[in-house]
Chains A and B, each alone.
Chain A
Amino acid sequence: MKYKYIEHVADLKFQAFGKSLEEAFANAAIALYDFVTKTEQIEPKIEEKIEVESEDNKSLLYDFLEQFLFLIDTKQFLLHEIKEIKITRKNHDKLKLTAIAVGDTADGKYEIGGDVKAVTYNDMFIKKEKDQYIIQVLMDI
C-alpha cells in the first residue's frame, strides 16, 4: 500500500508509507495528486525538478508538498510519478530534498476533481515502525 486516506470532517488527511523516508515522501505526493486527479492516468510527458531545503523532517515534508500546490497553480502541472528522490543532511543540520516530478500539464485533458489549498502541520507525524516509514499529513481543502 502506497498510502491511505483517513476520515476527516473538513480536510484531506492521509498516511503515506515507504521502505525509506524518500519512498514515503514520494507516496505522499501521489496521495495528494490522487485526490486532485488520478496519477496513473496522467501521461509522463514533462519533468519538473523539485528542490527544497528545510530545517527538520516535518518542515521538509511541508515544503516538498507545497511545491506541488505551487506547480498546480502556476503551471497546471499534474503528477504521474516521482523519480530520483533523495534526502540528504547538509551542514547546520539542514535537510535537502531533490527529486524529479514526471507528469503533464492539465490543459483540459484530464478530469480534475479536487482542489487543495495548503499543507498544514495539524496531526502531522513522520515515524518509523519496524521496517516501514509512516507519514501523516492533513491538507486544507
Chain B
Amino acid sequence: MRLIEVKMSELVTKYNITKVDKCIYEIPKTGGMRVPTLLFLSESLLNKVEEGAMLQAKNVATMPGIQKAAIAMPDMHEGYGFPIGGVAAMDLETGCISPGGIGYDINCGVRMLATPLTKDDVMPKARQIVESIFSHVPCGVGSKSDIKLTQDELNKVLNNGAKWAVENGYGNEDDLKHCESSGCLPDANADYVSSRAKERGKNQLDTLGAGNHFLEVQYVDKIFDAEVAKGFGIEKEGQITVMIHCGSRGLGHQVCSDFIREMEKTHAELLQQLPDRQLIYAPLGSDLAKRYFGAMCAAANFAWCNRHIIAHRVRDAFKEVFNIKPEELKTVYDVAHNIAKIEEHVIDGKKKKVMMHRKGATRAFPPGHPEIPAAYKEIGQPALLPGTMGTASYVLVGTQKGLEMAFGSTAHGAGRAMSRHGALRQFRGEAVKKQLEAENIIVRSASWKGIAEEAPKAYKDVDEVIKATEGSGICKIVARVRPICVVKG
C-alpha cells in the first residue's frame, strides 16, 4: 500500500508513460506485452492512479490475442485481474475470454428513465417517493424478491433476459428497444449455468442488492447538448429522471467464480505463466470458452431482466405518489458496464469480429453504428455515468473517435478514492445523511454503514472523470443530473 504514495513523476518514469494526445497516455509495449496500453486520463487523474491499477492495465496487454491496445478508462482503479475501467478486444481465433476481464458482477449496469415531472412537482413529495420506492424495491444484503421462480421459469429468464419480463407483465416493448442488445444476448445458454449459481439467484430477481448499487430520483441540472438530449427524451432542465444501478446479483457472481475455478483446473499450466492468477482464461474456440460465454450471457440477461423489473417497481411507486401512468416513465437507455460481447471493430484497416471485454467500462457507440436503437441512429448511443450519492451523474453520447481509439467505450462512474474502511473511520452514516439532507438530498438505506461507505468524499471527483472523458474525445457530454432521493442497499 506504500506504493500508492509514489509520486506521479516516479510512476510515469517507472512505466515509461508518454502523452500521445490530450488526455491520452501510453504505456509502451515492453516485456511480455503484446500491445501497448492506452490510458484515457487527465494529468490530475494520472497522478491519482494507484500503482496496482497501472500494473494491472499493463498485464492486460500480455493476454493472448489482444488487438491494438489494452485500454484503461478515466475512472480506472485497482481491481483483480483487469483493472476496473479495463477494456480489451481479443481475436476470436488466437485470443481468449477471461472472467477477470468482465468481473464478478456480470452486467452490472445502469438504466435511466425520463419522467414528465419537474423538480417542483417532486421536491414537496421527496420523502414520500423515497419511502414508496424503498417499499417497492427490495434492497440490502440478503433481500428477497416476491417473485418466486420455478427452475423452468428461471431458465427462461436466463435465456430471454428482459424479454421474459415484458412477457410476464413488467414494462413494455418500448423499454426493450431502448436497452443495450434489447436486454437479451442470444448466445445465452441456461444449461451452462451451474445449479449453485441458479440457487443463489433464484430469489434475487427484482432486488437491488447492496454495496455501491443504488436507485436515484434525479433532476436535470444542466443540458449541454439540447438537440441530443431531446433525442434521448431529456427535454428541459429541472426534469425528473430515475437512475437504477445494479447487476446480476449472486447468480452472476457464482457464474464468474465457477468458471474461474474450472479454467484453473483445466489450464493448470497457465497458473505459473500468468502475471496474476485472476487473469486465468479459456482459449476462444474451446468448449470451456463456449460454455463460459453462454453462462456469462445468461447472467447478463438475468441482470437486464432485474433492472427491467426494478424499473417496473419504480413506475408503481410514481403512480402511487404522483398518480402518473407507468408508460409516462420512458426508458432513456440501459447499458452494461461489466460484460464481454462479440463485436465488430476496425483493426489494421479491416473490419473484424472480436471478443470485447469491458470491466467497469461502458459501451458508447457513435451515431450510425448498427448496434444502437433505431431511435438513436442519428444521434449516437447514450452512455450513463453514475456519480456518487451527493454529486452529479452524467448522460454522455458515443463518438467516432471513441469507437476508433477505445473500441467504443467510456468510463462507468466516479471510481473510489478511499477504502471502505477509510470511509467508515472518517464518516458516520448519520452525519453523511444529515449533510446530504442539508443539500436537499434524501437518503434511504438498508444500513447506516452502507451510507458511510458510499460517502461522496470516498469517491474521486466525477467531474474530473468527465473532463478526461470529453477531453480525450471518446464521448460528448449531453446532460448532467443531480440526485433528490437516493435509495441504497
Instruction: Identify the A interface with B (CB < 8 A).
Output: 5-12, 36, 55, 58-59, 62-63, 66, 69-70, 72-74, 76, 106, 111-115, 117-122, 124, 138, 140-141
Contacts and interface: CB of A to CB of B under 8 A. Distances in A.
B253 A113 contact: no
Secondary structure type dominating chain A contacts: mixed
A69 B268 CA distance: 25
A62 B453 CA distance: 25
A36 B446 CA distance: 13
Interface in B225-283: 249-250, 253-254, 256-257, 260-261, 264-265, 268, 276-278
Nearest to B460: A9
A117 B81 contact: no
Interface stretch (B297-305, B387-395, B416-424, B434-442): B416-424
Contacts of A9: 50, 77-78, 416-419
Given A59-B264, A115-B211, A122-B81, A7 B141 contact: no
Contacts of A119: 257
B51 to A, nearest CB: 12
Contacts of A114: 141, 210-211, 420, 449-450, 453
B200 A121 contact: no
B148 interface: no
A7 B142 contact: no
Kindly list the 6 A-B residue pairs having the minimum CB-CB distance in the complex, ordered from nearest: A113-B449, A115-B210, A122-B80, A73-B250, A118-B104, A121-B277
B142 A76 contact: yes
Interface string B198-226: 01110110000111000000000000000
Nearest to A77: B142
Given A73-B204, A106-B142, A121-B277, A141 B253 contact: no
Query: Interface residues of B toward A: which range?
Result: 35 or more
B105 interface: yes
B204 A62 contact: no
Interface string B277-311: 11000000000000000000000000000000000
Contacts of B419: 7-10
Contacts of B79: 10, 122
B176 interface: no
B1 interface: yes
B104 A117 contact: yes
A113 B276 CA distance: 30
A109 B261 CA distance: 34
B183 interface: no
Nearest to A124: B277
B105 A10 contact: no
Contacts of B420: 10, 12, 114, 141
Contacts of B450: 113-114
A119 B449 CA distance: 21
Contacts of A63: 261
A95 B199 CA distance: 25
12 contacts: A8-B1, A10-B78, A36-B141, A59-B261, A70-B250, A72-B141, A74-B199, A112-B447, A115-B209, A115-B210, A120-B278, A140-B105
